[in-house]
Amino acid sequence: MEGVLMSKFKIQGKYRASQDIAISGWDCGSEFEFKMVVEFRIIGGTPATMIDPEEPASAEIDKIRFFEHKPGSAPKEIEFPDFIVEKFTEAEGFKAWLFSEANDQLDAAEQGL
């Protein structure tokens, strides 16, 4: 169990994750695909001691960018309104996705991938 606790706290650092997203109109049939790129940090987090409870780490977002990619052209950065960006960042599971991405990247680095 101790190894599991230690690995949970060694992911502190800066990371970058990306995910494809699609926005579509149900009735009009329009669909637009974008790539969301998130730069973030995992900070804090300490294991429990005899005196203090465990303090969970947190994921802090530094920057979110969106890119539209059309075949045959370079990706174009798209500015989304804040309320749209918040739909992603405040969604249940978003921070868990960031932690998962950080863990995957740390595992890959440790394996030399």
Query: Which pLDDT value is given to residue 10?
Result: 66
What is the value of pTM for the model shown? 0.78
Q: 42 lies in which domain range?
A: 9-110
Domain count, the chain: 1
Question: Is residue 4 one of the residues assigned to a domain?
Answer: no
3-state SS, the chain, equals: CHHHHHHHHCCCEEEEEEEEEEEECCCCCCEEEEEEEEEEEEECCECCCCCCCCECCEEEEEEEEEEECCCCCCCEEECCCHHHHHHHHCCCCHHHHHHHHHHHHHHHHHCCC
Query: Which pLDDT value is given to residue 36?
Result: 96
Type of residue at 10: K
Query: Which pLDDT value is given to residue 1?
Result: 28
Percent of all residues in the chain with a pLDDT value above 90, rounded to a whole number: 48
Q: How far apart are CA 83 and CA 93, in angstroms?
A: 18
Question: Is residue 1 one of the residues assigned to a domain?
Answer: no
Per-residue pLDDT tens over the stretch 21-50: 988 888 887 888 899 999 999 987 788 889
Per-residue pLDDT tens over the stretch 57-103: 889 999 999 999 888 889 999 999 999 999 999 998 999 999 999 98
**Average pLDDT estimate for 2-27:** 73
The kind and range of the H/E element at 19 are strand 13-24
When comparing pLDDT for 71 and 20, which is higher?
20
When comparing pLDDT for 65 and 12, which is higher?
65
